[in-house]
Homo-oligomer: A and B are copies of this chain.
Amino acid sequence: MRKIGKLNWAFSGGRIPFDSTGEEPVFNSHDKISVLNTSEEEANIEIFIFYGNQAPVGTYEVKIKPQRLRKIRINDLIDPEAVALERNYGCYVRSNIPVVVQFSRIDTGQNANAIMGTMAFPADKK
């Protein structure tokens, strides 16, 4: 199957909440990046996290096997440095081959109401 997607993705509306009232693990508050690699090659992606008041952190390196989906919890990005709780962040993802990236959020910290936002902006030049 051919490669579907783009090399560069970004979003600016991230925030990892602190409180959580949902049941683990499905409804725990979280931010996730879902990466789809439709190709027959392994995809190597680099993730950079941007903050409001400090230098960006990275490179977080993740591999996605051929013809597989991979969900990456922002909470699980710990090398070179854990992503801070309760702080706004933006994210830039670049890949060596075209992939499809989607960002999703579930926040159960406010009266057990679930909030989900989902967005990713394909940032390829041209």
Question: Which residues of A are at the interface with B, using a C-beta cutoff of 8 A?
Answer: 1, 4-5, 8, 10-13, 17, 22-23, 26-27, 32, 34-36, 38, 48, 50-53, 55-56, 67-71, 88-90, 92, 100-102, 104, 106-108, 110-123, 126
Question: What are the 7 closest A-B residue pairs judged by CB atoms, nearest first?
Answer: A36-B90, A12-B36, A12-B34, A13-B102, A69-B90, A117-B118, A10-B100
Copies, count: 4
- A68-B92 contact, Cβ under 8 Å, with A13-B118, A100-B12, A117-B116: no
Per DSSP, are chain A's interface residues mostly helix, strand or loop, or mixed?
strand
Query: With A and B bound together, what is the CA distance between A26 and B88 in angstroms?
Result: 11
* Chain B residues within 8 Å of A90, by CB: 34, 36, 69, 100
Among B34, B48, B53, the residue within 8 A (CB) of A68 is B53
Query: With A and B bound together, what is the CA distance between A116 and B13 in angstroms?
Result: 12
